[in-house]
Amino acid sequence: MHYFVLDAARRPELDGTVWTDGHLRFYEALETVGLTWALILEKTGRGDLSLEHMAVVNVTADFRHEMFVGRLEIDAALERIGTTSVTLVCSVAQGGNDVGTVRAVLVKVGDGRVDSLPFTEDQRAALATLQPAISGE
């Protein structure tokens, strides 16, 4: 797992009011967790695996506790490497409480962002470094 600490904030209200405390709306929580997707892909050290070369095709979230403005502690890992996609799982905690899990499937896309592209063997090897170690191997 890769550990990140991010500050979650509220977006301004339509009238311009800015809240510096209180609960996060679900999309603000997802937006904050989504930042880890770019951060974890950066750990491969490969520009061709950056978020700019991926399309988000599926996101699922299981919120187990309300999230608030402030620090989110996120353990992120690559759960699966497919032919053209990766599945990232982010376990989210706040103040010592397990507050949720977010899974995202990202697909490698080509120029024009219309067609998916298979990962090369070199890309697959770089992505594999993001997977958690499995005991017994």
pLDDT tens digits along 32-82: 999 999 999 999 999 999 999 999 999 999 999 999 999 999 999 999 999
Q: Is 32 exposed, middle or buried (0-12, 13-18, 19+ CB in 10 A)?
A: buried
Q: Cα 4 to the chain's mean position, in Å? A: 10
For residues 128 and 109, give the distance between their C-alpha atoms in angstroms, rounded to a whole number: 19
Is this model's pTM higher than 0.85 or not? Answer: yes
Tokens of residue 69, six digits: 């403005």
Cβ atoms 12, 89 nearer than 8 A: no
Q: Strand, coil or helix: what is 110?
A: coil
